[in-house]
Structure 1
Amino acid sequence: MEVENQQPGSWEGYVSWRNRPALKGRHGGMVAASFVLVAEVLENLAYLANASNLVLYFSEYMHFSPSNSANSVTNFMGTAFLLALVGGFLSDAFFTTYFIYLIGALIEFLGLVILTVQAHSPSLKPPKCDPATPSIPCQKVHGAKAAMLFIGLYLVALGVGGIKGSLPAHGAEQFDEDSPKGRKQRSTFFNYFVFCLSCGALIAVTLVVWVEDNKGWQWGFGISTFAILLSIPIFLLGSTYYRNKIPNGSPLTTIVKVLLAALLNSFKSRGSNNAIASMATSPTPTPASEEEGGNIKSKTVEPTQETPSKSLQFLNRAVGDNSTAGALDCSVQQVEEVKVVIKILPIFACTIILNCCLAQLSTFSVQQAATMNTKLGSLKVPPASLPIFPVIFMMFLAPVYDHCIIPFARRATKTEMGISHLQRIGIGLVLSILAMAVAAIVEIKRKRVAMDTGLLDTTTPLPLTFFWIAFQYLFLGSADLFTLAGLLEFFFTEAPSSMRSLATSLSWASLAMGYYLSTVIVSIVNSATGNSNHKPWLSGSNLNHYHLDRFYWVMCVLSGLNFLHYLFWAMRYKYRSGRAPN
């Protein structure tokens, strides 16, 4: 992207929406980020309104089994979050985060229109089940109707991926990272980004879910369609305030180039000892040509050039002589950037199990609540509205964390951050362990009530309030608050400036892999526990016959082992900035 010369009062490396130099005092700052936060409220409302209740839509209207419904939802949500990597890559390499958000919002809008049309028309859905003949199985959606469902669904996933891969980075780019004030404002932005996620979720799991359950899914999808459409003009209103980072080319090209150069130079160095020995005993060679001399001189480290760090020394070979492949010439800066990316990958991997636990909030936990008494006085609460408990808690905790806990921690530790990103992520991982233990205990109680009341084989609601399920939602919601905000800021802060959108997208990719892993674990558990004498733990049409408590204990153990794995890497990680507490 060609940009006119930087002016004295302009932000280096940033342009306005008209592709002119972004000016200090006019572009960027909290005002610009506020438009991003409002857009995030509407975007998350549009996405989560359906994702939180989609498992019931699949089972009641598309006639999937409980386990198939759960797997379909986790696959959809996993794909949406995994596609954030595509959005982040395009933002860094070819387009701005500004442009990618707008394209993602339009694609999501198109997908929601398709889903709204299908939900509105009975002819585009499978026939309703006949309660008079329960022995006849319901007809599962298939053929063109199934194609329409999944085309709409995965267009939404594609749009969500573009938005998640660009919007957080776009907001964070509005702050000056070279000043303490700018860095503190950026930290505040990430806290309030999670707060706005929660605001959108609050409307989604209350108003929209109630509309879906009582007025029809076409109205629920319609509200989501309107919300994502409304987010576009609101986002555009901030155009004159945004500073947009200039794309620096493909970050993947840099990573591949450094890895290949290091590999090739390691092979070349094996024969270098023989060449050196020959030079020691042979006559002095004739002066090299100008071109050869240029190559020789390029091997000498200039006084102003930094030398590679001692970590991951294998990659330092990429700075060596690449005369046989000029396209693989690497600078010290490029090598150090790739090292940073490699160092943050273990942290990323350690959050996947936590997000696998979070996947249960959208699947089995909703189905558990559907078997319980969901009345609150005279009001019947939809099971998919259960996330309201962690959402309200997150909305309360995010401002308290930013305005009370962090200032106190900064004074106590005498550091700019107060609580480091890795400490925050670690708190989330501990809370996920507790959440799975609580979920197992609650499921044991639910099954005991079903057996004691003789309601094990019926669909009659159990005489047990759904508030019991709220405990696991509370712990997992708190874990999500600490981990997601910590991950977003950690990846954005630690990643090289040319890779920040892609690195920030790793937070969503972790969610994606967690949802996919949930599907895999369910399949493995069913394969391992099913034999000729016993049914698999998680199969059948009646949740009361599932061994969900045992599954939750398995997840609890896996979460504990994952936390130990996380401690191994977190205790060895050194921050680039050096501003974090030990």
Structure 2
Amino acid sequence: MGEVATDMYTQDGTVDMKGNPAVKKGTGNWRACPYILANECCERLAYYGMSTNLVNYMKTRLGMESAVAANNVTNWSGTCYITPLIGAFFADAYMGRYWTIASFMIIYIFGLALLTMASSVKGLVPSCTDGTCHPTDSQKAVVFVALYLIALGTGGIKPCVSSFGADQFDENDASEKKSKSSFFNWFYFSINIGALVASSVLVYVQMHVGWGWGFGVPAVVMAIAVVSFFFGTPLYRHQKPGGSPITRVAQVLVAAVRKWNVPVPKDDGSSLHETLDKESGIEGSRKLEHTEQFRFLDKAAVVTNAEDETIGSSSSWRLCTVTQVEELKAVVRLLPIWASGIMFATVYGQMSTMFVLQGNTLDAHMGPHFSIPSASLSIFDTLSVIVWVPVYDRLIVPAVRSVTGRPRGFTQLQRMGIGLAVSVFSMLAAGALEVVRLRAIARHGLYGDKDIVPISIFWQVPQYFIIGAAEIFTFVGQLEFFYDQAPDAMRSMCSALSLTTVALGSYLSTVLVTIVTKITTRNGNVGWIPDNLNRGHLDYFFWLLAALSVANFAVYLVIASWYKYKKTADYTDADKGDRTHDH
């Protein structure tokens, strides 16, 4: 009878809407995912539909100069990758992922509705004469309030939706665990379907129909996302929030420092403090096994003679459990892997900067009457992702699985490493095209600022396509890795942490461009990246990024060989098999 009950309920601590143990047959798994994936697709469509052309809105409607408009968009975009830390904290600590997504989606809709009104309601729309608009300070203020409401709204959705979707699969069930890995592939696929529609259809609407419709459609789409999400409510499984993760981390550090001179017993950790019952003492979190790394932190769980008598009432600021200590160790172990993703995000960021500048100098004609904007070529990155997801999920994983015997095919670390290696080739492809371009310039004497080089812009497609392939390995691998290796009660926070690599990658790109420009323009030299690229050496910049990517990959190999996968106290034989050859 006990076995039947065990098979009936999930074993990873998930509960249903009423807080009861989740029944396997009636909740979660793929049956709950269409609502979550549809929500993500619509949310990303709304986000990219509104943000892709935002710089043009600020220039034409808000009368800003190019540099000011670009900085405003960059600052706002950076904020959209920092606010997930706020949403993730609320999700893990107090609200749970479901209620965090639900609450922040409402804020998001208010922001989109306000932006739509600012671009369509009389009195909020700036007056324009002879193609020049003259917005008042209050009209600008409405736009920025709307944008930062959207930034706050996306902060509660970005770090939670992927984790909430993964929560629908019980990792203690072999078949569901395999499906969880597949879920992350299709999650990223749904993001790119939304981005594809946004960068093609919605940008056209904004440029040819009007900004009111251009922002109104994303608002309607976001409303559909909300309806989709709530529609699946009876099917969802929920992880209970575990209280403030920041407090628990601080308690371990304080307790360890307080006992800096207390020796750690030389055993397998069995003498360290842990709760005696089955639960870890942290709501919604399983116990974690003791590990040997970072032994200084183990001091927080050492029971001294003074604490031995009052162990039941001892403060967590003096004595922590092994699971609490291992939570912090798990996060510390993630940080080097996280840092290795910043260089990849820098390469990824070139699509919206250097690739566009390179494309501006190439022949953009498609036939006699149509030319493609260089910024629109990023659609080939999106198409690459859409092609690679089913190829990876349906062909590559089964093929590799038959060789390695692992359910996922590659380990998560291997998958991310392959993406880092592939990204090098996108920089090599961009550099090679630049060499060809510079030779054509020398051959034809096209050194003028406005001169177009007689090379089709479509020769840029390979560098976009290669980045799309690299994303499937590294970005999707990161999504899965940070969810899987994060402590149960800190999954949203760790997902938010992985998102910050995109923001930091953009900042690193800015720093590199600034340093390169300063060094290469000494003594009156033109430099690698002048305003007139026909007189520059953009190929050197691409070689630099390729070299840095190779160095980053080499460091990553060292980090990956050092990394130890998380073990819960109840991890299964299947887990053991998956971890015997982790690297």
Q: Is 1:564 aligned with 2:554?
A: yes
Task: Confirm or deny: 8 A CA contact 2:272 2:301 kept in the other structure.
Answer: no
Picking from 254, 257, 265, the partner of 2:259 is 265
Letter in 2 for 1:469: Q
* Offset, 1:502: 1.4
Alignment of 1:506-521 (within 5 A): 506-521=497-512
* Offset, 1:317: 0.8
* Offset, 1:15: 3.3
* Offset, 1:426: 0.8
* Identity over aligned pairs, percent: 35
2:524 match: secondary structure: coil
**Aligned equivalents of 1:72, 1:532: Cα separation in 2:** 33
Letter in 1 for 2:490: M
**Aligned equivalents of 1:560, 1:140: Cα separation in 2:** 49
Picking from 184, 189, 209, the partner of 1:195 is 189
What CA deviation, in whole Å up to 9, does each residue of 1:508-545 have, x standing for no partner? Answer: 121122123223333333444445724665565x6656
* Offset, 1:418: 1.6
Task: Confirm or deny: 8 A CA contact 1:50 1:220 kept in the other structure.
Answer: yes
Picking from 459, 462, 465, the partner of 1:471 is 462
* Shift in alpha-carbon separation, 1:116–1:515, aligned structure 2, 3 A: farther
* Shift in alpha-carbon separation, 1:244–1:300, aligned structure 2, 3 A: closer
**Aligned equivalents of 1:176, 1:430: Cα separation in 2:** 32
Task: Confirm or deny: 8 A CA contact 1:116 1:218 kept in the other structure.
Answer: yes
- The aligned counterpart of 2:247 is 253
- Of the structure 1 ranges 100-109 and 393-402, higher mean CA displacement relative to structure 2 is found in 100-109
Letter in 1 for 2:331: V
**Aligned equivalents of 2:73, 2:441: Cα separation in 1:** 27
- Of the structure 1 ranges 409-418 and 455-464, higher mean CA displacement relative to structure 2 is found in 455-464
* Offset, 1:108: 2.5
Query: Taking structure 1 as the reference length, what is the TM-score of the superposition?
Result: 0.83
- Of the structure 1 ranges 322-331 and 553-562, higher mean CA displacement relative to structure 2 is found in 322-331
Picking from 355, 372, 378, the partner of 1:387 is 378
What CA deviation, in whole Å up to 9, does each residue of 1:144-194 have, x standing for no partner? Answer: 555444433332222222111110001000011101101001011011111
Letter in 1 for 2:111: G
Task: Confirm or deny: 8 A CA contact 1:352 1:514 kept in the other structure.
Answer: yes
Picking from 288, 292, 296, the partner of 1:310 is 292
Letter in 2 for 1:250: S
Q: Is 1:177 aligned with 2:167?
A: no
* Offset, 1:327: 3.1
1:243 match: secondary structure: coil
Q: Give unmatched runs, 5+ long, in structure 1.
A: 1-5, 131-137, 273-296
**Aligned equivalents of 1:37, 1:300: Cα separation in 2:** 39
User: Number of matched residues?
Assistant: 544
Picking from 540, 545, 557, the partner of 1:550 is 540
Q: Compare CA radii of gyration and give the structure with the larger one.
A: 1
Query: Taking structure 2 as the reference length, what is the TM-score of the superposition?
Result: 0.83
**Aligned equivalents of 1:149, 1:568: Cα separation in 2:** 47
Q: Is 1:226 aligned with 2:220?
A: yes
Q: Is 1:348 aligned with 2:338?
A: yes
Picking from 348, 351, 360, the partner of 2:350 is 360
* Offset, 1:347: 0.5
What CA deviation, in whole Å up to 9, does each residue of 1:224-257 have, x standing for no partner? Answer: 2222121000111101111111111112222221
Task: Confirm or deny: 8 A CA contact 1:70 1:363 kept in the other structure.
Answer: no
Q: Is 1:241 aligned with 2:235?
A: yes
**Aligned equivalents of 2:232, 2:506: Cα separation in 1:** 34
Q: Is 1:489 aligned with 2:471?
A: no
Task: Confirm or deny: 8 A CA contact 2:274 2:321 kept in the other structure.
Answer: no
Higher RCO (C-alpha 8 Å, min separation 6)? 1
What CA deviation, in whole Å up to 9, does each residue of 1:114-160 have, x standing for no partner? Answer: 43344447985696898xxxxxxx99989555544443333222222
- The aligned counterpart of 2:268 is none
* Shift in alpha-carbon separation, 1:85–1:139, aligned structure 2, 3 A: same
* Offset, 1:438: 2.0
**Aligned equivalents of 2:527, 2:67: Cα separation in 1:** 11
Task: Confirm or deny: 8 A CA contact 2:184 2:476 kept in the other structure.
Answer: yes
Task: Confirm or deny: 8 A CA contact 2:273 2:322 kept in the other structure.
Answer: no
2:300 match: secondary structure: helix
**Aligned equivalents of 2:453, 2:60: Cα separation in 1:** 19
Q: Is 1:338 aligned with 2:306?
A: no
Q: Is 1:102 aligned with 2:102?
A: yes
* Shift in alpha-carbon separation, 1:521–1:530, aligned structure 2, 3 A: same
- The aligned counterpart of 1:30 is 30
* Offset, 1:562: 1.1
Give me the CA root mean square deviation. Answer: 3.5
1:464 match: secondary structure: strand
Picking from 486, 499, 510, the partner of 2:490 is 499
* Shift in alpha-carbon separation, 1:115–1:299, aligned structure 2, 3 A: closer
1:245 match: secondary structure: coil
**Aligned equivalents of 2:448, 2:386: Cα separation in 1:** 39
Letter in 2 for 1:477: G
Letter in 2 for 1:327: S
* Shift in alpha-carbon separation, 1:224–1:262, aligned structure 2, 3 A: same
What CA deviation, in whole Å up to 9, does each residue of 1:351-404 have, x standing for no partner? Answer: 011101111212332344344433333444343331221222221221121122
1:230 match: secondary structure: helix
What CA deviation, in whole Å up to 9, does each residue of 1:480-511 have, x standing for no partner? Answer: 12111111111111111111121222221211
Task: Confirm or deny: 8 A CA contact 1:119 1:217 kept in the other structure.
Answer: yes
Task: Confirm or deny: 8 A CA contact 1:166 1:501 kept in the other structure.
Answer: yes
Letter in 2 for 1:317: K
- Of the structure 1 ranges 453-462 and 500-509, higher mean CA displacement relative to structure 2 is found in 453-462
- The aligned counterpart of 1:294 is none
**Aligned equivalents of 1:218, 1:530: Cα separation in 2:** 44
What CA deviation, in whole Å up to 9, does each residue of 1:308-337 have, x standing for no partner? Answer: 322211111111247587232211111122
What CA deviation, in whole Å up to 9, does each residue of 1:403-443 have, x standing for no partner? Answer: 22111211211222221111111111112212122223333
Q: Is 1:81 aligned with 2:63?
A: no
**Aligned equivalents of 2:536, 2:135: Cα separation in 1:** 24
* Shift in alpha-carbon separation, 1:332–1:517, aligned structure 2, 3 A: same
- Of the structure 1 ranges 447-456 and 564-573, higher mean CA displacement relative to structure 2 is found in 447-456
Task: Confirm or deny: 8 A CA contact 2:255 2:320 kept in the other structure.
Answer: yes
**Aligned equivalents of 1:396, 1:413: Cα separation in 2:** 24
Letter in 2 for 1:552: F
**Aligned equivalents of 1:306, 1:356: Cα separation in 2:** 35
Alignment of 1:521-540 (within 5 A): 521-531=512-522, 533-534=524-525, 538=529
* Shift in alpha-carbon separation, 1:84–1:256, aligned structure 2, 3 A: same
**Aligned equivalents of 1:43, 1:50: Cα separation in 2:** 11
- Of the structure 1 ranges 105-114 and 426-435, higher mean CA displacement relative to structure 2 is found in 105-114
* Shift in alpha-carbon separation, 1:141–1:365, aligned structure 2, 3 A: farther
What CA deviation, in whole Å up to 9, does each residue of 1:204-241 have, x standing for no partner? Answer: 22212222333344433222222212100011110111
1:387 match: secondary structure: helix
Letter in 2 for 1:493: D
Letter in 2 for 1:383: S
Letter in 2 for 1:425: M
Letter in 2 for 1:256: A
- The aligned counterpart of 1:48 is 48
**Aligned equivalents of 2:360, 2:117: Cα separation in 1:** 27
* Offset, 1:553: 2.7
1:311 match: secondary structure: coil
Alignment of 1:52-131 (within 5 A): 52-57=52-57, 71-120=71-120
2:260 match: secondary structure: helix
Letter in 1 for 2:363: N
**Aligned equivalents of 2:413, 2:493: Cα separation in 1:** 19
* Shift in alpha-carbon separation, 1:113–1:523, aligned structure 2, 3 A: farther
Letter in 1 for 2:421: V
**Aligned equivalents of 2:435, 2:121: Cα separation in 1:** 41
